Chain A
Amino acid sequence: MTAPIPEAALEPIPEPIATGGSRASRATWRAFRKQPLGLLSLAILGILILISIAAPLLAPYPASYGTDVLKPPGGGYPLGTDALGRDLWGEIVWGTQQSVLVAVAASAIAIAFGTLVAVLGAYIPKLDAVIGVVVDLTLSLPVLPLMILVAALVGPSTSTIILVVAAFSWPEVTRIVRSQALAVVKLPYIDAARLMTRNHLWIIGRHVVPAVAPVIVVSVVVTASRAVLSAAGLAFLGLGDPTTWSWGRILYEAQASGAMVSAWWLTLFPSLAILALVLSATLLSIAYNDARNPRNHDR
């Protein structure tokens, strides 16, 4: 249920840090454009986001039931129907919305919290020891059983899923960002900034965070794909929101109604959707990580 974080994203970046400036980002974009996999991933993610926004235009919200039960793809149902005769295409389209929402919301929370903790830790050495211990502790927890426990106790709903996923994703973000931030706060220009002002928040906001922004971008994508996997996993275990369509819920209902054996389309299509989102997110983060590495930029 957890996507491995690309190796590259874990390493502290030894290269000079791009501290803003449009020249660096233009160089990154130029390098990125040369990676077909990255572009393809970006396109797939774009399409998924588009589908989630345009869901009402693409398919009516799945009715509560239909008369054509378990029909294979074709004949008015492009992806077939489920055990209650509902159109699978509609379920997947509306499920995209929930998956994208979970991905965006859970990663936003995890990133915001994780980055804040990481930067504070790096900037205030006294806090760092405590934060390090907390992060290590949280990372060593068995995530899946805890997610199941929390989701079961609090009760299934989309907001529960988002909070649960975010709660278990931020330490990963903190770890990556912290290692980068530790390198940044020791750089001469931060010392220079300290001489200019005693407003630490300004220093953090103006200099530290922008310096770690590239790793944050990578974390966003990875955390988002992990959130989708976790949400789908929880929904498959029956701990998702039973009233909102999600890809995991389609799988869960196929399993619960015993239709998995005969109706291959009920498992194939939602799985493909999950695969598309997770794979493209992972590839995108790798491509971006490569692209922002100055070594790969044209000289």
Chain B
Amino acid sequence: MRKRYPLLAGVAAIAVLALSACAPEAPPAATSTSTAKAGTDTLNIATTTDVVNYNPLVGNSRSDYWVSNLMYPHLLSMNEDGDRIPEVATDWGYVDETTGFYEIRDDMKWSDGEPLTAEDVAYTLNATKKDKPAGTLYGQLANMDSAEAVSKTRVEMKLSKPDASIVEGIGFWGNIVPQHVFEKAGSVAEFANDGSDGGWVSAGPFVLTKVQVGQSYTMDRVEDYPIVKGGTPIPAKVVYRVYPDVNAEILALQSGAVDAIANALPPAQVEQLKNTAGIKVEESTGLGYAHMTYNMDNPDLAKVEVRQALAHAADYDAIRKVVLQGQAVSTGSSPLMEVHGDYYDKSIKEYDFDVDKSRSLMEKAGYTADANGNFPVSFRLIYSLQDSVTSQWVQLVKDSAAKAGITIELQGTERNTYLAMTNAGDYDIYAGNFAIMEDPVTNMVLSYLPGGAINYTHVDDPELNDLINTASTSADEKERVKLMREAAQIVHEKVYDNIMYSQQLYFAHSDKWTGFVSKPSELLSIVNPVSLASASKTAK
């Protein structure tokens, strides 16, 4: 999934991206940095890609996100369990069915001394709505008409129709940008924000000061960052260093050239690094999932029995055990995961791996196996070659399906080709993953409603549509839970989606540093603003 971002982001929302973060009230308690004071240390972090885009409102890659997240705060953040927590906003909710609001902190400042006010928030939302930058935030704004700063610390949004998840969605996915900087540029969709007119302006813990493309991105501390405990970030500088691949990153960490790796560790390296002296490995809960979807435009896959046969022809246990080295949990083949709390439905069980069942389902669907036991079907499965974990498990899927007499032809392609094929529906089976699926209702809207940005199954089931549409306008959490559980049952039973696992992520840093706050997903990981602002060198 390494870089699915740009595309989906443009489209819609949530789904893919990750977020950003900062937890105001999340004092990095676990990490005992209470004694650490703002010092003179430089924290070096390895990343695999260059920053290509400095405008946080436009779709972005990993490095873009990591760097812009340290400069442009979000209204809401997320804690380790996936719950939304305050960041710039202190309170949020609905005035009435079609009006949402945020109350924001009054002590935030941009690094050039200008205060961060409700005007900046309203400007960000309105400008994004108007200029349509290809980023995640724009996708969240579908039901927002306009935003208005009703006071210095309160923003209200007019909605075009009731939407129970929009306030948290926007708060979580959108970065706030400085009106006095971005406004001058005209369209926020076209503003490069590359610092060419006198550098960057930040309301995060660090501000970008020096860029050496292909090598490093140096960020200096912003003295006044009230969201972190103590009010001042501890490291004097954060330097993102570019290493071409994860092997080089690990070597750099081992040699001491960097102090942390921003990317998640490959599953096969986790145990090894846990046992390496001088290196600490932090765990973060998986908030996304990996899945396969079956394109119902294919007449064979339009038959529910065929989809069920495929679902029973994959050895999910082996995939989690071997490819993910046990660093993943089953969601019970359901889009509702344990981290979704009340939404999670234990009664939905994972499809069991049973090739005989697959065969009888294929026969039930009207197919007859030839002398070799093969059914006259062949499905083309697409995946991104840049996604090493998926590239590995699709081989297992192919081999186990062959045992059930179903031919799967693997088509691994370079990432951009894969994204283009995904968007064009040019596949029979799609394999991929999403970093964060934090809101069940929004996820289902995007995944299973006709025309949904990530409806890769191309499903249009009236019963399912009704459930999702009702849930998305319902203000009653209990009712939403009930509707989503019913929807998940249908998705599971009719195999509109085949969720395979939710991966635990691991991040490595040098034991010379402590105080990192690990958050869900690779985008937040240990490089979220609060984490980096709280990190300190261990006393020697």
Contacts and interface: CB of A to CB of B under 8 A. Distances in A.
Interface of A: 63-67, 69-70, 83-85, 152, 155-156, 238-239, 242-243, 253, 255-262
Given A64-B396, A261-B251, A262-B272, A255 B410 contact: no
Interface string B469-501: 000000000000000000000000000000000
* Interface of chain B, main secondary structure: helix
B414 A257 contact: no
Nearest to A66: B322
B251 A65 contact: no
Nearest to A70: B268
A259 B250 CA distance: 10
Given A83-B392, A255-B247, A258-B246, A155 B411 contact: yes
Interface stretch (B76-84, B295-303, B383-391): B383-391
A248 to B, nearest CB: 13
22 contacts: A64-B400, A65-B318, A65-B323, A83-B268, A84-B323, A84-B395, A85-B322, A156-B413, A238-B414, A239-B414, A242-B391, A243-B395, A243-B410, A253-B392, A255-B247, A257-B268, A258-B245, A258-B246, A258-B269, A259-B247, A259-B269, A262-B269
Interface residues of B, number: 32
Nearest to B383: A242
Contacts of A152: 414, 417
Contacts of B246: 258
A255 B246 CA distance: 8
B325 A259 contact: no
A245 to B, nearest CB: 11
Contacts of A257: 266, 268, 388, 392
Contacts, number: 77
Given A238-B386, A261-B250, A65 B396 contact: yes
A182 to B, nearest CB: 43
A204 to B, nearest CB: 43
A242 B412 contact: yes
Contacts of B245: 255, 258
Given A69-B325, A83-B268, A260 B247 contact: yes
A261 B386 contact: no
B250 A258 contact: yes
A152 B418 CA distance: 11
Contacts of A261: 247, 250-251, 254, 269
Contacts of A84: 322-323, 392, 395
Contact of B322 (A67, A239, A243): A67
Contacts of A67: 321-322
Contacts of A83: 266, 268, 392
B265 interface: yes
A63 B399 CA distance: 9
A64 B399 contact: yes
The 6 A-B pairs at the shortest CB distance, nearest first, are namely A258-B266, A64-B399, A256-B388, A260-B247, A83-B268, A258-B246
A83 to B, nearest CB: 4
B302 to A, nearest CB: 26
Contacts of A260: 247
A238 B385 contact: yes
Nearest to A63: B399
B257 to A, nearest CB: 14
Contacts of B411: 155
B316 to A, nearest CB: 13
Contacts of B410: 242-243
A98 to B, nearest CB: 16
A18 B254 CA distance: 61
Given A238-B385, A261-B250, A262-B272, A69 B391 contact: no
Nearest to B409: A243
Nearest to B411: A155
Nearest to B270: A258
A259 to B, nearest CB: 5
Nearest to A242: B412
A155 B322 contact: no
A259 B322 contact: no
B250 A155 contact: no
Given A64-B395, A155-B411, 6 more contacts: A65-B395, A83-B268, A238-B414, A258-B246, A260-B247, A262-B272
Contacts of B391: 242, 253, 256
- Which of A70, A239, A256 has the most chain B CB within a 10 Å cutoff? A256
Nearest to B385: A238
A191 to B, nearest CB: 55
Contacts of A262: 269, 272
Contacts of B398: 64
